[in-house]
Structure 1
Amino acid sequence: MRTVKNAVTLLAILYFANAASQVFIFELPEMIVKMNTTYLSKNHSTRLRCQIFDNVANLSFREVYWFKDSLSVSELPTKKGGAELKVDGNDLLILRGSHHTEGEYQCATIIEDIPLTENTTINTRLISAPVRLRKARITRFETFRSQTVRVRQGQVARMPCLGMPDVVPGPPDVWMEKEGHEGVPLGMTSNLRFVSTPNGLQIAIAQPQDAGKYFCV
């Protein structure tokens, strides 16, 4: 299962009133969401599981509350995916991927008896970082007007790949080719002057023979 860890560190601050006031700061446990897949599928269910990250103190929790787009799953209307979500113990089961079930998911719970010092424990409510899920998809390149890139000889030419397709799971494998040299994936050959980037192509030390039309594949 894939793990999504909360990027926010939660702290507990205790104040002890005595002759010399002292403040102690303790790091609280973090909730994480584990998934059996990184995207939603129309034909297969997706299981989300709420867990305590790095649970060295062997803490436990009894009841988990799930949220989608900041709304409780138990109160979610059908038009927002409520009919396709099922709570299974401490897990959340997304029965099928659709545009209704796309969104951000979080779990929350109350953890009791968290040890801070030898004689001090606390109870606290924790919530995980949001996990964004989208259904599997692949779209076409969007249509854009041709872009003209002007560069002096010897400089670096940067050519963007516009209208990138929306691909889940991604990112897609995209490269550029030059008109008249179709089938040669620039940036993936032994010619080190061509560097493929996630957004297009860079040509180091541009030469006159580099002039021409380039397109994304």
Structure 2
Amino acid sequence: MKNPLVNNKELKRDLVVLIIIILLPFTFYLYTIVPTNASYFDIGFLTISPGYYDYVDYYLWLLFVKILTIGILSIWFVTCKHLWKYILLFPIFLEIHKILSIVDFANNGVNVPFSFMSLVSGILFWKIMLVFVPYTFILIFISIRMNYNNINSINREKINEEINQQLYAVSKFDYKDYKLINKELKLLKKQKLTMDKKEYLIALIRIRDRLMI
């Protein structure tokens, strides 16, 4: 039987993930607080300028589209219990590249088409790595702490325990009892013609129950 404290911990973990999933789409619409066609947006401690994008609302809309995508991929990575989840780091890398490309274009007005050579040879690649590497370590750390992988190990332990119990029962089965049951079964087959179907079936079930481990 599973420890209720473990169940409570897993419930809290799943509740946190559920709340994040519910709130994530709403964060996308934060760009709507910016006035339409505004040339800058001042929130006291930070002034947002759209640069070459002309309007702040359009600039933030582009950023939040990518942030939402990274958020969805990150939740998928953290909650996934399969080893193939590390493939998700590649699209996360590409989305970080897109975000930094948007910011770079806003500041410099240079929009370089994506290609492997332009990515590796440019300074933008090192900017991406400065974001991607720490972010990857954070995701892996959270994934380990969330412990979704443990679900598979728990199921394997249960299966192994059942197998061990069955093997132990088989090892305790007496060969003399088997020979006696086998003898009774042969005798029952000989008496089959003198018995009706119901009596024969009841006798077979009685022998089967004795063979049950």
* Shared fold, TM over 0.5: no
TM bracket (short chain) = under 0.3
Higher Rg: 2
Higher helix proportion: 2
